[in-house]
Amino acid sequence: MAADTGFKLTYGTMFNPPEELHTQFDETLARMKTHLGQEHAMIIAGEERKSAEKFENRSPANTDLVLGIFQKGTIQDAQDAVTAAKKAFPQWSRTPWQERVALVRKAASLIDQRIFEFGVVLALEVGKNRMEALGDAAETADLFRYACDQMEANQGFVKEMGRDPLTGYLSTNFSVLRPYGVWLVISPFNFPCALTGGPTGAALVAGNTVVMKPATDTPWTARLIAECLRDAGVPDGVFNYVTGPGSTLGQALIEHPDVAGVTFTGSFDVGMRIYRDFGSGRWVRPAILELGGKNPTIVTQHADLEAAAIGIVRSAFGLQGQKCSANSRVYIHESVYDSLVPRLVELTNKLVVGDPTSRSVYLGPVVNKSSYRDFQNFTGQIAAAGHFLTGGKVLTGGEYDKGYFCAPTLAELPLDHPLWKQEMFVPITTVAKFKDREEAMRMANDVDYGLTAGFYGAPDEVEWFFDHIEAGVTYANRPQGATTGAWPGFQPFGGWKGSGSSGKNAGGLHYVQLYMHEQIRTLVRKI
């Protein structure tokens, strides 16, 4: 991104982008706004596929605005997509891994070339602010490249093992990682680029063929990924893009016996159901599940409170609290509570809420009416049991009346309230004080989730935090985000406990291997 400026966009660097990036975003937005509302087909076996029923993709910032018309894919479409992927598998899996790497790298470059188009689509259909939107697209290209780098660093995962200590024979052994077959990728609305593209890139590089199904709220971003793969020259049928409801199309894909593996990213409840349904096949198949979070931050009396305040507010309210990594619980040492909380409130009150494509806006709308109602329900519960430090209301009047806008909300709540353990996925964060850090750690770990966690304290407290916290991605003393903002190759992303099934993080050293099973090849020759 903006190579001539030397700027590398990550979620850590996105707060100070070069001016050129804004200019290009604005130009692309103006151009794209003139032809919204077009119809987009699915792609099955390399062909554009339309279905009888359609659905509208509307902007959550302005529900009058129809962004595009998408296909309500049927069970037949699901079957056709799996058939196409199955047919393409033998040739793709036998394509030398170096050629697969070259094609996926080319697709990554095409994402880079279209990055502002991706950014505009992500801002319009998800409601991401422009930097979050561009970040999601840039992360996707880097996830593609990271999977390619891993294939190369491991020479395609063909490794010679020990030779058997036999007399009169030469017995060689090789470990070879090989693809499974048809891989299903089901993605959530909140990172429709990285969480559709990341698993797809890894699955393809490994030699699987793919069926990708995005969330109903975010079909457009996934269509752009499909176009980049197609335009890079990935053969017909190797990837297939279908759109439609999870409960029908998604379920049909999960139940299809020819699907060899799945990566599902989404809520705990849907993920666990998929895990059980997928487990009812004829044999055990790999299911990579990336699920929800209830991410804590602990602030001790030795913390840099300004760094803590900035990091917490960024992670609590970035993307309207709709990140699996969002900082939804904050535990603060009682001696610094009265210093830190007013600063959290002050920074929260400065956040601009509005049209996510506007440069000054930090919080766009929540994604749909259901999330808007969730916010009203949760704030109702908080009003009854605790109290708001700031926020607590949906926003109305003017442009707010057309979309799903909510005030970023900080609240105090009794520690035995169920909302301390439930993922809310809206811009609400609860804060509480603690007396000693062991108590804070107990509370931090006392949830079913274990995705990300943050800590602010003295350097000699940091190892204690890392050693005791139960989470897959952990950050200490980080103003760029207390619990959010992982980047491939820097902070591979994945969860423990109810937050993830594989124990290996995306964009990391052990990820692409999840898309392959091992074959040991022993060859004996008499000598």
Ligand X SMILES: N[C@@H](CCC=O)C(=O)O
DSSP, collapsed to helix, strand or coil, labels residue 171 as strand
- Residues acting as catalytic residues: 290
DSSP structure class, residue 236:
B
Position among 382, 423, 437, 447 found at the interface with ligand NAD (CB under 6 A): 423
Q: How far is the CB of 217 from ligand NAD (least distance, A)?
A: 7
**Residue 329 binds which entry of ligand NAD, ligand X, none, with Cβ cut-offs from 5 to 8 Å by kind?**
none
324 within 8 A of 481, measured Cβ to Cβ: no
Position among 120, 486, 512, 514 found at the interface with ligand X (CB under 6 A): 486
The reply on whether position 79 binds ligand NAD by CB under 6 A is: no
**Residue 492 binds which entry of ligand NAD, ligand X, none, with Cβ cut-offs from 5 to 8 Å by kind?**
none
Q: Which residue has the tokens 């991706």?
A: 118
Closest CA to 291 of 187, 391, 373: 187
Nearest-angstrom CA–CA distance, 254 and 488: 28
Q: How far is the CB of 458 from ligand NAD (least distance, A)?
A: 30
**Residue 486 binds which entry of ligand X, ligand NAD, none, with Cβ cut-offs from 5 to 8 Å by kind?**
ligand X
Return the amino acid letter for 136. Answer: D
> Dihedral through CA 60, CA 62, CA 63, CA 64, nearest 10?
-160
Q: How far is the CB of 27 from ligand NAD (least distance, A)?
A: 30
Nearer Cβ to ligand X (209/322): 322
The reply on whether position 422 binds ligand NAD by CB under 6 A is: no
Q: How far is the CB of 504 from ligand X (least distance, A)?
A: 15
428 within 8 A of 328, measured Cβ to Cβ: yes
| SS3 labels along 386-432 | CEEEECCCECCCHHHHHCCCECCEEEECCCCCHHHCCCCCCCEEEEE
Backbone φ, ψ for residue 33 (5° rounding): -65, -20
Contact track, ligand X, 120-139, x by CB under 6 A:
--------------------
Nearest-angstrom CA–CA distance, 294 and 292: 7
**Residue 250 binds which entry of ligand NAD, ligand X, none, with Cβ cut-offs from 5 to 8 Å by kind?**
ligand NAD
Position among 10, 150, 190, 502 found at the interface with ligand X (CB under 6 A): 190
**Distances in Å between the alpha carbon of 415 and those of 186, 382, 386, 412?**
35, 12, 10, 9
Span near ligand X by CB under 6 A; candidates 43-51, 109-117, 394-402, 478-486: 478-486
The interaxial angle of helices 97-113 and 219-232, nearest 10 deg, is 130
Q: Which residue has the tokens 């893009």?
A: 241
**Residue 216 binds which entry of ligand X, ligand NAD, none, with Cβ cut-offs from 5 to 8 Å by kind?**
ligand NAD
Residues sharing a CB contact under 8 Å with residue 96, sequence separation 6 or more, in sequence order: none
The reply on whether position 325 binds ligand X by CB under 6 A is: yes
414 within 8 A of 385, measured Cβ to Cβ: yes
506 within 8 A of 198, measured Cβ to Cβ: yes
Structure tokens at 476: 């200490």
**Residue 144 binds which entry of ligand X, ligand NAD, none, with Cβ cut-offs from 5 to 8 Å by kind?**
none
**Residue 291 binds which entry of ligand X, ligand NAD, none, with Cβ cut-offs from 5 to 8 Å by kind?**
ligand NAD
Nearest-angstrom CA–CA distance, 454 and 343: 18
192 within 8 A of 186, measured Cβ to Cβ: no
Which 272-291 residues touch ligand NAD, going by CB under 6 A?
274, 290-291
Number of residues that bind ligand NAD (CB under 6 A): 33
The reply on whether position 328 binds ligand NAD by CB under 6 A is: no
Contact track, ligand NAD, 232-261, x by CB under 6 A:
--------------xx--xx--x-------
Which 134-163 residues touch ligand X, going by CB under 6 A?
none
Q: How far is the CB of 72 from ligand NAD (least distance, A)?
A: 12
Point out which residues bind ligand NAD (CB under 6 A).
186-191, 195, 213-216, 246-247, 250-251, 254, 265-267, 270, 274, 290-293, 324, 423, 425, 451, 493, 495, 499-500
Point out which residues bind ligand X (CB under 6 A).
190-191, 323-325, 484-486, 493
